Each structure stands twice: as structure tokens, then as C-alpha cells.
């Protein structure tokens, strides 16, 4: 397909891909869907033509491939409960008479908040920026972790710089979480070794982003969408 596909070419490719998905093929990369979307994103006129069908194709392939899903409201509720549990652990760290127990509670709060704040941050930012979401799911490399599936039609219709902010929000929230917990350490009964562990969790997460996420995860998507945004100007 040419670098700048026509409306007819995009429609024909989406029709072909949707038929393949209907026949049981769920690898959208192999079908050429993501390469096609990379071209569509560069032309707002093509986005408007392709968004609904692209969203339908993406949703069908995702649901065929991903079986462990939950409604968005239920996933948000579970993760909010996790955040509340992290807050309870901070209370234990503050009021426990056992320094080792307080230290374990402080570390537990950092881990729980780092995990549980990620997807809700994506959801809050996405909703504020005009995106919708289909569901929560379990995914990623072992151990599986909660993910939030976008409604791809609304994602395409959102300005690429806003899409970049949505992707960045979860990554930023996860990195900030351990340092927020660390701020509670001076007023807690947790020993210094616990604070060092929490600090290490935060530093390791930042290093992971610097060396891995820019190539495979949220920050890769941030860079991709910012590049699309620059093509508009």
C-alpha cells in the first residue's frame, strides 16, 4: 500500500482484516492492521472515515484473544480497594509498636500503590481527554497484572498529543507512588532499612522505564504519539 492510502484503500484493507478476524485470526500485527493505523493516524480525514470500523476490528480481536476481562467499573473498584489497602498499611507503619512490622507495612504500601495506581491513572486521564475504555484485563509477562483496554475508535479520534498524555499518566503515577509512600516514613515507626527498600523500588522502576519502557511499553507509545502530533504541524 502507498505511503498515503486513499479512503478506498483504507476501507478495503479494513474490510479484509475484519473478515480475517471474523475467521478467527487475532494477530492484528500479522494482518497489517497496526501498520495501516500508523498511516491512518497521519491524516485526520482518514481517521474520521476509519475510526468506527477500526475500533470494531480491534475490539473483536482483543475479545477473541483475551478471556480474563471485567467491566471498567469493577476493575476500578478493585484497584480503588487496593489503594485503600495501601493506605491502611501506612497506618500500620505509623502506629505499630513493632519496627519490623511497620517496615514490612511501609514496603507493602509502596508495592500495592505502584501496582494499583497505574491503570486508574490511565482511566482518569483518558476520560478527561476524551477517550473511552472497553474493559479491564489481565495481561503482560508473568506475573500477570491489570491492564485497561481502550475503545480504539475514541482513541483514534483523540488528538495524538492527548493520547500521549494518557499513556504517560499511568507510567508517571506508578513511578511517583513509592516516593509518596517514602514521604510518610519519617512519621512512621518503620526502620531505615524499610525506607531504603522503598527508595530502591522507586529507583528500579525509573531505571526500568529509562532502559525498557521507552522500547516496549508506555513511554514507547508516548514517543509514537508525540511523533504523530508533530506531523500535524
Q: Is the pLDDT of residue 215 over 90?
A: no
What CA–CA distance (Å, rounded) separates 210 from 64? 33
What b/e string do you get for 13-45 counting C-beta neighbours within 10 Å, with b at 16 or more? bbeebbebbeeeeeebeebebeebbebbbbbee
92 to 72, 119, 135, 182: CA distances (angstroms): 30, 26, 33, 14
Per-residue pLDDT reduced to its tens digit, 143-168: 667 899 999 999 999 999 999 999 99
Contact 178, 172 (CB under 8 A): no
Domain parsing of the chain, residue ranges:
1-65, 68-231
Per-residue pLDDT reduced to its tens digit, 79-110: 999 999 999 999 999 999 999 999 999 999 99
Torsion from C-alpha of 26, 117, 115, 60, nearest 10 degrees: -10
Amino acid at each position: 500500500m502507498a505511503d498515503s492510502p486513499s479512503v478506498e484503500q483504507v476501507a478495503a484493507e479494513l474490510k479484509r482484516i475484519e473478515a480475517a478476524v471474523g475467521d478467527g485470526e487475532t494477530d492484528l500485527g500479522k494482518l497489517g492492521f497496526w501498520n495501516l493505523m500508523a498511516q491512518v493516524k497521519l491524516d485526520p480525514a482518514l481517521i474520521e472515515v476509519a475510526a468506527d470500523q477500526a475500533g470494531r476490528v480491534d475490539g473483536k480481536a482483543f475479545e477473541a484473544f483475551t478471556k480474563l476481562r471485567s467491566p471498567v467499573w469493577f476493575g476500578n473498584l478493585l484497584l480503588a480497594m487496593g489503594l485503600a489497602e495501601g493506605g491502611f498499611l501506612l497506618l500500620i507503619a505509623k502506629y505499630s509498636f513493632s519496627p519490623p512490622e511497620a517496615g514490612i507495612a511501609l514496603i507493602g504500601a509502596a508495592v500495592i500503590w505502584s501496582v494499583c495506581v497505574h491503570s486508574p491513572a490511565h482511566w482518569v486521564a483518558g476520560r478527561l481527554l476524551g477517550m473511552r475504555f472497553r474493559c479491564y484485563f489481565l495481561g503482560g509477562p508473568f506475573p500477570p497484572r491489570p491492564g485497561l483496554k481502550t475503545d480504539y475508535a475514541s482513541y483514534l479520534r483523540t488528538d495524538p498529543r492527548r493520547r500521549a498524555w494518557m499513556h504517560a499518566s499511568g507510567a508517571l503515577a506508578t513511578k511517583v507512588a513509592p516516593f509518596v509512600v517514602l514521604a510518610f516514613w519519617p512519621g512512621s515507626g518503620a526502620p531505615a532499612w524499610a525506607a531504603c527498600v522503598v527508595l530502591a523500588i522507586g529507583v528500579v522502576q525509573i531505571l526500568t522505564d529509562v532502559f525498557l519502557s521507552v522500547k516496549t511499553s508506555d513511554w514507547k507509545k508516548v514517543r509514537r504519539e508525540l511523533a504523530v502530533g508533530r506531523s500535524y504541524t
